[in-house]
Structure 1
Amino acid sequence: MQCPEDPDETMLMKTLIKSNPRVTHYYRELFNKCDKNRDGYISFKELQKFAENHEEHKFPDKVIKAIHKNFDRNGDELLDFEEFLEMINNPKVTKIFKRIRSRYIKFVVTSPTKKLVRLQSTLSNTGLYEEELTCKAYTVGMLILSAVQITFYYINLSLKTKESEEGPIEMALKFTPYRKEEIWRYVTHIFVHSSPYHLYPNLFIQILIGIPLEMVHSWRVLVIYVAGALGGCLAHSVIVPHSELVGGSGGFYAFYTAHIATVIMNWREMSHPAVQLILFGIMTIFDPIYNYVIMKNLGDVSYIAHLGGTVVGLLLGVNILRNLKETKNERVVWYICIVTYFLLMSVFIVLSIIINRYCSLS
């Protein structure tokens, strides 16, 4: 496969790209995605694998090999960054890799004359975040958790007796203000639910939001879930000290704001980040926040646990979820959130201990 080009135009194009840090960053991101072993070079196998993963149609190996060989100027069977720039900006190659180019490279190279190359920025967001969505063997945390919750519910239901409305699993795992010294209950309440109407809506939300997060952030999502449940339970134990708590609502409400956190921290790497921010922002404002302000904790629903989970999801989401391209300002936000998280957790732990002792004495 021959890809003729004007040497002067090619040199000018590479000079213009390298002179603009923002443009260079986009091309370097694409190069790094292709360079799997991070040795600074792209082999034929790496280019082949990259094309298979990111293009809708499979190209014959001989086509990929011909492209690779054509731009391997020094014959070392590897493409360095400069050779890669020539390849990805060659008109014939971009027709083949049109999906890759449109996804990663948000700058169009046009040539009004033979001697001039103009770079025109057309889009601001890269879509790199969506390219991290992968379904791997470990992307099953939320499914396993949901299966355990379903199993515990029906086993507990089958073990209930006429004398007791609560089964043995619920009695052992639920949070109760009369056994606050059994600290595992601050987390294990996520495994028990009061009814199918309580269980299945929770499962639907945590799977709907949790699995896409897990596909990018892997094990960190389960940490967010558990931390949200713990934070929600601590808030519940302090604000509503005489009330029991079951269910994982604090955990999946943490997903709302964890998603907000990852949108904020990966703003430039996401497609349509403003839409996602507005969507999850509305869900956060009109569900846990609005319901707590209006409903308080009347009835069987602990809105304060929901609210506690949303706060933890935002603060901890910034800290432990993946940030694909960190900036200095984001680093400052990271430190603010981690300090705020530990301060709030410390305050609520101390308050819970004090309230527990007060209730015991009274």
Structure 2
Amino acid sequence: MTSFEMDHLDDDQKQRLLLESRYKPIFDRHEHEGGVPLKSLRQEMEEVGGSKLPRGKMELLLRRADEYQDGKLEFGEFIRIMTAETGDRQLTAFQKLLKISLNGVIPRNAQKKRMEYYLDHYNCCPPPLFMIFISLAEIGVFVFYAIELKGMGVETTASSGFPWYSPLIYKPQRRYEAWRFLTYMFIHVGYLHLVFNLIMQLMLGLPLEMVHKWWRVGFVYSLGVVAGSLGHSVVDTTTMLAGASGGCYALIGAQLAAVIMNWKEMTRGCQDGVVEFISSAPVRLTLILVLGGADTGLAIYQRFTGDSKGSVGFAAHFGGFLAGLLLGISVLKNIDKKPWETVLWWISTIIYCILIIFCICWNGFYPGFPDQDWRPCCPIT
């Protein structure tokens, strides 16, 4: 390359050319092996004349390469690691957002294989709008009923005030109106209930949508809502149910499964930067426990200190969470599929179906439910 051509290259391109000219011969010697063995990487680089890396760079290279745990380093990986400090400047604003989402969803050991593919091929079509749409719908329904309740002399506060007469809320006396097993997610008891649900589903749902597409996340979320109401109908047969916690906890279940199964990989490198720290397993687990614990605590409080019109159950949290654990395996896209995961897919799917069938049969044959309310929808009394 001529000096004139070199002058028209930016700093990143010059750095890549320099790295290639100095270090590619090392990787060419090991091309048939799939990369340079990490155990001999330092020695081989020092043996090449003029190719000795600064001590800090070498330590960084070995530390980050070891995160992938494959024992070898390919030339492409070497370039990405050595230019990591400047790589983000070549990404568009949307790609940077996608990269943050990938850091929060894909285990670190799978990012090696999939990060570049997603950054190059993800086109935001369809866009991640499911969680946004559901959240706006929940806000709209909440505002509508808050205004209506105010006209009836009932104030909506932080932890009280809900339209017990709504055709959307789950009521055990009107179980024959099957849509209530899903639509109860649009009703919330006080604005704190709504805020907690919105924070959780947007924080967990949007990154999942960007990686797994909206229909997979929407499917898990919706079935988590249904599983939550069915579980509630088994555990708490006389209590109404409101809130999107079934769907939120389905997302939590899917996330928690990934955190637990990939704890080691998600903990490595958490001190490398802000994004790495935020997406690390301890931080994610802490956020899940804090937000989930606060929301569940509020639901339990409301269950046993309900207003004069009745109390609202909390068992949907656990039903949705269990559904998320099972459906996350079955429905969400598998980033790095392993042979044994096919067996796990079948096991989780069968368990979910068995539990759903049991709950449906319980609703049909259990004699302890309140008498059915056959009055026209929707009586306020």
Indicate the TM-score class for this superposition, using the shorter chain for normalisation. 0.5 to 0.7
Could you tell me how far 1:269 is from its partner in structure 2?
8.0
User: Of the candidates 103, 125, 129, which is equivalent to residue 140 of structure 1?
Assistant: 129
- 1:125: Cα distance to partner? 2.6
Shift of 1:156: 2.2
Q: 1:176 aligns with which of 171, 175, 183?
A: 171
Relative distance call for 1:328 and 1:170 in structure 2 (3 A) is: farther
- Structure 1 position 302, deviation (Å): 2.5
1:249: which partner in 2? 245
Residue 227 (str. 1) matches residue 216 (str. 2): no
Number of positions where the alignment pairs a residue of Structure 1 with one of Structure 2: 273
Alignment partner of 1:153 is 2:142: yes
Instruction: State the partner residue of 2:304.
Output: 298
**Match status 1:236 vs 2:232:** yes
Query: Partners in 1 of 2:344 and 2:245 — Cα distance?
Result: 26
TM-score by length of 2: 0.59
Deviation for aligned residue 1:268: 9.0
1:273-309 deviations in Å (ceiling 9; x for gaps): 65367547756995789999x9895344523111111
Contact residue 288 and residue 306 of structure 1 kept, 8 A = no
Task: Identify which of 321, 339, 357 aligns with 1:346.
Answer: 357
Residue from 305, 308, 318 that aligns with 2:319:
308
The Cα offsets for residues 126-148 of structure 1, whole Å up to 9 and x where unpaired, read as 53466648682521211111111
* Aligned match of 2:202: 207
Q: How far apart are 1:225 and its partner, in Å?
A: 1.4
Question: How far apart in 2 are the matches of 1:242 and 1:6?
Answer: 71
Query: In structure 1, the residue corresponding to 2:176 is in which secondary structure?
Result: coil
Instruction: Report if aligned partners of 2:162, 2:190 keep a CA contact under 8 Å in 1.
Output: no
Q: Which residue of 1 aligns with 2:257?
A: 261
Q: CA deviation at 1:170?
A: 5.7
Identity score, percent: 28
Q: Which amino acid is the alignment partner of residue 142 of structure 1?
A: M
Which residue among 187, 190, 197 is the counterpart of 1:195? 190
CA distance in 2, matches of 1:168, 1:298: 18
Provide the C-alpha distance between the structure 2 equivalents of 1:355 and 1:89, rounded to a whole number of angstroms. Answer: 60
Uncovered stretches (5+) of structure 2, i.e. residues with no partner:
2-16, 38-73, 88-107, 156-160, 269-279, 307-311, 374-381
Please say if 1:15 is aligned against 2:52.
no
What is aligned with 2:181? 186
RMSD across aligned positions (CA): 4.2
CA deviation map 1:38-69 (0-9, x unaligned)? xxxxxxxxxxxxxxxxxxxxxxxxxxxxxxxx
Instruction: Find the partner of 2:211 among 202, 212, 216.
Output: 216
Separation in 1 of the partners of 2:355 and 2:173? 23
Q: CA deviation at 1:197?
A: 2.2
